[in-house]
Structure 1
Amino acid sequence: MSRTNKPWYTLKNQSGNAELMIYDVIGDWAGLSARQLVDTLKTIDIDAITVRINSPGGSVFDGIAIYNALRYHPANITVRIEGLAASIASVIAMAGDTVQMAENALFMIHNPFGWVSGEADDLRRTAGMLDKARDSIAMTYSERCGLPVAEIVTLMAEETWFTAAEAKEKGLIDSIDKPVQLAASFDLSLFNHAPPVKMEPPAPKPATKTVKNEPEDIDALAIVRLCNQAGYPELAEACIRDKQNPDQVREKFQDCESIKSLCAAAHAPDLAAGFIQSANTVDEVRAALFEKLTANAPSVNNTLTPDQQQNIIKPLIDTAAVYRNRNGQTSPQTTQA
């Protein structure tokens, strides 16, 4: 999926109607967070909100928060699926009092997934959390379409893709609109059973002034998945913001492992997370650990007190006496005056 420099959502509050457009990966990036969106929705006192969706999904819990903010808003919510409503984006679509779908659009449901590193108990806790998230999402679909939760769970496990006609037949949407002309901007190969569907691009726009050395677009969802898989989900936002490609992100993971090794060798493994979160380089971490170790080392006082300086320190072994005894010599007589 290609990434544009546009924000993942826009919210326009016009007279009598607000329009929320979710047209990218859902989550905290490009300076916009789901919490900001939810907080803004709470302040909107308006009769109608239109939600336009073309998204492959994103953060499960961010999506659930957006769904709840829309579902319990006093305004009448109209959802228009204009291209793709996949994964958690399809859950947000269920918040509509009315759900419309373009004839050429796609709707996908599947099990939530994630990555975790740690001990067996950590893995079990994560598995339990994913099961609860799955059941909550299945109930959301079931409340709209009326299908039993058990049937929805089966469809989610199979990663089911619906055309507009199929989504309407299942009761997931209310009506089908005319086709919408959209650019094919999402890489559906990230999913397991995506159909071979390609949307026709819109008519070309008049040429505009080009900007040289414009940074290459970043595949945000791929970066998020990469960070989760490596066990560093906290790095995803910074990697996307800095427009790092997958190779650069993998190099960052190697630095993280080096930082963990340095902290472990310094008997300070708890410091690794802070160094990584602060984007410290390996050299900076090495210097910081060295300073910490030397700062904690006890100081050595090499000076002698005046009394110690006046005393003659006798050797533990009289080597001269040993030598005389070995050669059969006796100590010379001491003459006193």
Structure 2
Amino acid sequence: MKKKSWYAYNLADDGRSATIRINGVIGSWAEGRTIESLDYELKWAADSVNEIIVRITSFGGSLAEALAMYGALRRHPAKKVAIIEGVAASAGTIVAMAADEIRIYANASMMVHGVSLVTEEGEEVEDAEAERVLNASIVETYAARTGKTPEELAECIATDTWMTAREAVAAGWADAVIEIAEQGAATSATAASPLHAIASALEIPADVLERAEAEAATPAPAVPPPENAPPPATAEATFAAQVNALAVAEGLGDYVAAWLLDGGITTAAQAKAAIKEAREVRDLCAFANAAGRAGEFIGQRKSLAEVRAELINARAAAADERHTDTHPRVQQQGQARQAAAKPAMSVDSIYAALNSTIR
């Protein structure tokens, strides 16, 4: 019988393998994963498992949290296998380095870089000594896993170094490419790929996406495996592919990134429920003659109740404005409600938050 904790931990039927997901912003309770939640799951797995699968789709976050996660995974006696499903960037790669084996899907990508110190408001902070020390921590972590020299790594992290799956394996950042399984009808050519959705939301460079998609479509030439090599990575349906298929089936393929980057969505059932609510949000907006706002609400992950209240407030504000000659005070209140209804989040603000600690 499978067991599941309050977060994202899954125990296989044989009790010997556990799966942990690292999705979204590293260091965020609301939008990703924290060291506290990871520690909790590792305690569950301590007595029974001999293998931990760490599935990663993360654009990064807090360097301190990522280093703590790295240490927690390294301390666990089980074999760790990291599987990069969509993107492992910035602090996400630090967590991946804790694995004994790193596998990456053919249409996924990796990105490494150094730190950039900023305030909570996003203003840059000049502290050369702090950057030197933090970058040394990054280099030390990468060197232990890749075998690269400090000089090589210093050059890599001096700028954003993007890699497709095959480039990452060739350069020693990962061990094996997982070839993409043949897609069924639900994920046919009419469906946007999960990587494409994430790339669009998080501004992954277009040339990296193009290289990844081209390489994914061209299987690597067969070569004899080295002696004592681990078994080849199998083509399995990724969590990202499952979410993508569910979204496309509801005509919501453009919003896949909103669910993949939500750290609170870790199972297909949770994704299905979220997508169902998004469909209801879309239908409500159409009924309220506000179809143009559906994308805004879905991208911000607003609940059906929140959307209903916001549409009612917007309609009330519009009615107030039509009576400016007799209800000046109501007009001001309506404008205030309308201003309060404006979204507080955007892709740009999420992107800035992702880079608030590690550049």
Measured in 2, the distance between the counterparts of 1:100 and 1:164 equals 9
Where relative contact order (Cα < 8 A, 6+ residues apart) is larger, the structure is: 2
Query: Partner residue of 1:132?
Result: 133
Measured in 2, the distance between the counterparts of 1:94 and 1:189 equals 25
Aligned counterparts, 1:35-184, within 5 A: 35-43=35-43, 44-45=45-46, 46-116=49-119, 123=125, 126-179=127-180, 182-183=193-194, 184=196
Q: Residue 32 and residue 188 in structure 1: after superposition, are their counterparts in 2 closer, same or farther (change >3 A)? A: closer
Query: Partner residue of 2:261?
Result: none
Query: Partner residue of 1:217?
Result: 299
**Contact (CA 8 Å) 1:70, 1:95: kept in 2 or not?**
yes
Note the C-alpha offset of 1:203. Answer: 4.1
Match of 1:10 among 4, 8, 15: 8
Q: Residue 153 and residue 91 in structure 1: after superposition, are their counterparts in 2 closer, same or farther (change >3 A)? A: same
Measured in 2, the distance between the counterparts of 1:22 and 1:117 equals 23
| Mean CA deviation greater in 101-110 or 182-191 | 182-191
Note the C-alpha offset of 1:32. Answer: 6.6
Aligned counterparts, 1:293-312, within 5 A: none
Note the C-alpha offset of 1:169. Answer: 1.9
Residue 19 (structure 1) aligned with residue 19 (structure 2) = yes
Measured in 2, the distance between the counterparts of 1:31 and 1:87 equals 16
**Contact (CA 8 Å) 1:82, 1:102: kept in 2 or not?**
yes
- List per-residue Cα deviations over 1:228-249 (Å, max 9, x = no partner): xxxxxxxxxxxxxx972259x8
Note the C-alpha offset of 1:189. Answer: 8.1
Query: Partner residue of 1:186?
Result: 198
| Mean CA deviation greater in 9-18 or 184-193 | 184-193
Measured in 1, the distance between the counterparts of 2:179 and 2:32 equals 31
Runs (5+) with no aligned partner, structure 2: 1-6, 184-192, 214-240, 251-275, 285-293, 302-341, 350-359
Measured in 1, the distance between the counterparts of 2:90 and 2:106 equals 19
What root-mean-square deviation, in Å, do the aligned CA atoms of Structure 1 and Structure 2 show? Answer: 3.5
Runs (5+) with no aligned partner, structure 1: 1-8, 220-241, 250-337
Q: Residue 191 and residue 157 in structure 1: after superposition, are their counterparts in 2 closer, same or farther (change >3 A)? A: farther
Q: Percent identity?
A: 29
- List per-residue Cα deviations over 1:122-141 (Å, max 9, x = no partner): 945x4422321211111211
Q: Residue 73 and residue 128 in structure 1: after superposition, are their counterparts in 2 closer, same or farther (change >3 A)? A: same
- List per-residue Cα deviations over 1:25-46 (Å, max 9, x = no partner): 2222328751322321441222
TM-score (norm 1): 0.55
Q: Residue 129 and residue 41 in structure 1: after superposition, are their counterparts in 2 closer, same or farther (change >3 A)? A: farther
Measured in 1, the distance between the counterparts of 2:142 and 2:203 equals 20
Measured in 1, the distance between the counterparts of 2:129 and 2:109 equals 30
SS in 1 for 2:157: helix
**Contact (CA 8 Å) 2:86, 2:198: kept in 1 or not?**
no
SS in 1 for 2:61: coil
Larger Rg: 1
TM-score (norm 2): 0.52
SS in 2 for 1:157: coil
Note the C-alpha offset of 1:13. Answer: 3.1
- List per-residue Cα deviations over 1:135-191 (Å, max 9, x = no partner): 111121111111101111111112111122221222211111113785233356867
Tell me how many residue pairs correspond in the alignment.
215
Note the C-alpha offset of 1:211. Answer: 2.5
**Contact (CA 8 Å) 2:62, 2:91: kept in 1 or not?**
yes
SS in 2 for 1:115: coil
